[in-house]
Structure 1
Amino acid sequence: MVARLEKSGDLMPGPVREALLALPREVLMPQAYVRRSAQDETPPRWDLLDFSRPGDRDELLELLHGGDSVAIQHGGEAILGRIPGPRRGGVMTAASSTMGLTAGLLQLLDPRPGQRVLDVGSGAGVTAAVMCFVCGDGGVVTLDIDPHVTAAVRERLSGLGYRPAAVTGDGTAGWAAAGPYDRIFVSFAVRRVPQALVEQLAPGGRALMTLGTSSPSWPGLAVVERRPDGSVEAELRAVEFGHRAGAGFDRLFLSAEFRATITPDQGRTQRSRLAPPADTDRGMWLALDHFYPGLVRDFGAKDLTVGAPECGSWMRVKEAGYRRWDVTSRGPRDIWAEIQDVARRWRAAGEPGVYRLHFDADGSQRATSPNGALTWRFSPSDTGVSR
């Protein structure tokens, strides 16, 4: 797994690499779920694999070291003392994130020996274990909203010889009792930077978290730093991948039934000389997500396909020749016009991939392009966006 991460460029020499080499993942995740059903099959079917069962061991080790996300909890169940075997229906409620994402973020976080660390969203305990290895367990706090997750992480980190503070509570409120922290790592997406976490950041400290909306398609990475003089500087980076949503998100998705309506005979087609933005224009797509919320990209489609499941609108763009594209759409929203509107504004702003994050006195937060030409505001109530 480490060799693959190095080859892909997600992992470089340093303490995070040494930690991932040293920490046995089967101790942190002696049980994990593997999906047995197809993507759109309902109800979904899983098997809970167990390392203590010889028949499960090879498949579980392959799962743990494959690099993908690993599901560890079904339907909010107690994690300790479970009986392995099949599960049906429901949803997965805790997981270990993909290792490429985790490794990259942990290296950006730059943990160092002796630092105080707040790990928000314990999951399988991988991040907490890395922090204990690098920083020493005495200064590490791992926090999760689910007491079953907290109990499992506490026991499994103990099995590695680590005894950080494993506590239960609202991650967006942090854990002020052990602060301030030199490093804060949030492993789930939030709508805006929680003020409590900014307040618990020590001078010289750094916090990382995914900022997202109800759409899973275009995440942003918030990098927050407190300078030695106590001032706070932050930026929002448009990234390809981010953490999954935390509590309170009503996530949008394109169901199989919705995707089945995205066909030429169910929409209207127009010819356009305007090129669709490239996938790598992530700063544009991030801005689109905030100026025109409610859109979801179908990354499994051959052509650029975007839907708005709340109103039934969709759009598909297919190349039709030299500098010509066929735009097929359906529904009350003109998604193509929305994309082109933001693309024009994004180009006028210098095509930024990184925005400055501002924390205003009234509690609201703003993202602004470096030249100030493109900006949006995150609502203080976390319920929407004012343009």
Structure 2
Amino acid sequence: MVEDRRAALDEVMEARGDWPERSPWLREAVAALPRDLFAPDRLWRWDGHAYVPVDRHVDPDGWADELYASQDAAAVTQVSGGLPSSSLSAQGIVVDMLDALLLEPGHRVWDIGGGQGWNAALAAWRAGSGRVVSTEIDPDLAAFARERLAAAGLDVETLTTDATVTAPAGGRFDRVIATYAVERVPWTWVEAAGPGGRIVFPWGRLGHVALTVAADGRSASGQVQGLAQFMADRTGPVPPSAGPAAFRAVRGDGPAETKRIIDRSLAPLEGDWDLKFALRVAVPDAVITTGRDEDGVNAWVHDGTAGWAMFSATGDGGSALFQGGGRRIGDELLHAWEQWEELGRPEPYDYGITVTPERQFAWLNSPDDGPRWPLYEAAAAASR
């Protein structure tokens, strides 16, 4: 049963062109070390209301279906407080990120956020015995990964530590790969990679980026490599929530401070992912929720603290903009939208990141002379 699911997913990825041409080793590694070897006996499925358990010994077919649902689907392996807290990342994303790592035999690898150990296993298949160190902040997950890696015959050192502040002892790494999302890159990662090292990590709620550390070790820079959403850093502040309830909590009951009519339809906010990406870069703390009625698309925006905006469709292709909370976050979004159009409506892959000890910024087309935006400082925003 599981074998059939593996084969079917392999064929789907081949048909869709998801096996990277420059990294043929990845297909071999996944075949040798399939994700079911690193999946716990209990997975979790969203039933439309809550996450419910799917146990391998009770419902083996359902368990296999959940694990191999799609090359784009993660399998939830841990739920805390009713929300996912760990997962086996989608197979297509795992492959895409390891391809971006440009991993070669003999490289020393730091795998960050090891989870169940599958990512470290695939890296070890390529890099070689004793070349991968995996760190995981959750001691139970680290113990699980350690057991599964050993059962697979892999020599991978698995440590329980907070990778945001502490790197494994033993010198530099040629490659660093993280499997949880950060808003800003810990300088610890850059120091651990050192000159010429490559760092692949999920950036916020956007996608994953590959950085190369400069020859002097004082900066790292690189472009967006792929698009996906990831579990957030457990040690960072909780990002603002989306949805009507979160907006109402920030909006409160007071009157709007400003109101004006804008000559712009909000329809692109529903499905133009290039635009949504650009707005996330330019106004990173803006949480946007959209909804449609007979007059058109409406939007509710907040920053998680006090600033809010509401765009109410007027039925003639425009919107009424209401704002409050001492911040004009709606105007900030409109300005970023206009800037994106003036820049030629760039795609996500046109963006990149540069990290130095003093600052971090996103850029468009070029880190040297392209437009720049400072990266979101979540801690500062949370205390604002």
Asked if these proteins are the same fold (TM beyond 0.5), I'd say yes
1:253 paired with 2:247, answer no
Give 1:108-257 correspondences, 5 Å limit. 108-212=100-204, 216=205, 219-227=206-214, 230=217, 232-237=219-224, 240-247=227-234, 248-255=236-243, 257=245
CA separation in 2, counterparts of 1:113 and 1:380?
36
Aligned to 2:373: 376
Unmatched segments (≥5 aa) in structure 1 = 76-88, 262-266
**1:357 and 2:353 are equivalent in the alignment:** yes
Taking a change above 3 Å as real, the CA distance of residues 360 and 311 of structure 1, as seen in their structure-2 partners, is: same
1:123, distance to aligned residue in structure 2 (A): 1.4
For structure 2, the residue ranges without an aligned partner over 5 or more in a row are: 1-8, 250-255
Any residues of structure 2 matched to 1:254-333 within 5 Å, and which? 254-255=242-243, 257=245, 270=261, 272-273=263-264, 276=268, 278-281=272-275, 284-290=278-284, 293-298=285-290, 303=297, 305-308=299-302, 310-311=305-306, 313=308, 315=310, 325-327=317-319, 330-332=322-324
Amino acid at match of 2:263: S
CA distance in 2, matches of 1:260, 1:119: 40
200 and 45 in structure 1: CA distance in 2 versus 1, 3 angstrom threshold: closer
Q: How far is the alpha carbon of 1:151 from its aligned partner?
A: 0.3
Task: Kindly state the Cα deviation for residue 28 of structure 1 after the two structures are TM-superposed.
Answer: 0.7
Shift of 1:127: 0.7
Retained in 2: the 8 A contact 1:358–1:366? yes
Task: Give 3-state SS (helix, strand or coil) of 2:164's partner.
Answer: helix
Aligned residues with identical type, % of pairs = 24
Q: Give the Cα–Cα distance (whole angstroms) in 2 for the partners of residues 221 and 318 of structure 1.
A: 34
1:7 aligns with 15
The answer as to whether partners of 1:6 and 1:12 remain within 8 angstroms in 2 is no
Q: Rate the CA distance shift 1:158–1:64 in 2: closer, same or farther, 3 A.
A: same
Residue type at the aligned position of 2:339: R
Decide whether the 8 Å contact of 1:222 with 1:236 is kept in 2: yes
| Offset of residue 145 of structure 1 | 0.6
Secondary structure of 1:35's aligned partner: strand
Are residues 1:366 and 2:361 paired?
Answer: yes
Tell me which residue corresponds to 2:39. Answer: 29
Give the one of 67, 91, 94 matched to 1:64.
67
SS in 2 for 1:18: helix
Residues 189-210 of structure 1: CA deviation (Å, up to 9, x unaligned): 1121111110111443210112
Aligned length: 351
TM-score, length-scaled by structure 1: 0.76
Contact 1:364 1:380 in 2 (8 A): no
The TM-score normalised by the length of structure 2 is 0.77
How far apart, CA to CA, are the structure 1 residues paired with 2:298 and 2:226?
18
Relative to 1, partners in 2 of residues 1:251 and 1:373: Cα closer, same or farther, differing over 3 Å?
same
2:338 maps to which of 344, 347, 350:
344
Q: 1:256 to 1:180 in 2, by over 3 A?
A: same
Letter matched to residue 226 of structure 1: V
Alpha-carbon RMSD across the aligned residues, in angstroms, is 3.7
Q: Residues 97-116 of structure 1 correspond to what in structure 2 (within 5 A)? A: 97-116=89-108
Equivalent position of 1:78 in the other structure = none
Structure 2 distance, partners of 1:269, 1:381, is: 30
CA–CA distance in structure 2, aligned partners of residues 222 and 132 of structure 1: 21
Q: Which stretch of structure 1 is more off in the superposition, 311-320 or 118-127?
A: 311-320
**Structure 1 pair 249–381 and aligned structure 2 pair: CA distance change class (3 A):** closer
Change over 3 Å in CA distance of 1:269–1:326 after alignment to 2: farther
1:7-50 alpha-carbon deviations (Å, 9 max, x no partner): 334332411122122223222113232235424xxxx352151x
1:365 alignment partner AA? Q
- What SS does the corresponding residue of 1:47 show, helix, strand or coil? strand
SS in 2 for 1:383: helix
Q: 2-side partners of 1:108 and 1:251: how far apart?
A: 27
Mean Cα deviation higher: 248-257 or 119-128? 248-257
Residue 47 of structure 1 pairs with residue 58 of structure 2: no
Counterpart secondary structure, 2:361: strand
Separation of aligned partners in 2, 1:127 and 1:150: 13
Separation in 2, partners of 1:366, 1:339? 18
> 2 CA distance for matches of 1:355 and 1:235?
9
Quote the offset at 1:334 in angstroms: 5.6
Letter in 2 for 1:337: D
Residues 246-296 of structure 1, C-alpha deviations (whole Å, 9 max, x = no match): 1223122224646899xxxxx989462567573223552232333xx2323
What CA deviation, in whole Å up to 9, does each residue of 1:131-178 have, x standing for no partner? 121112310011001111110000011111112000010122353413
Letter aligned with residue 79 of structure 2: H
* Cα separation, partners in 2 of 1:29 and 1:358, compared to 1, 3 Å: closer
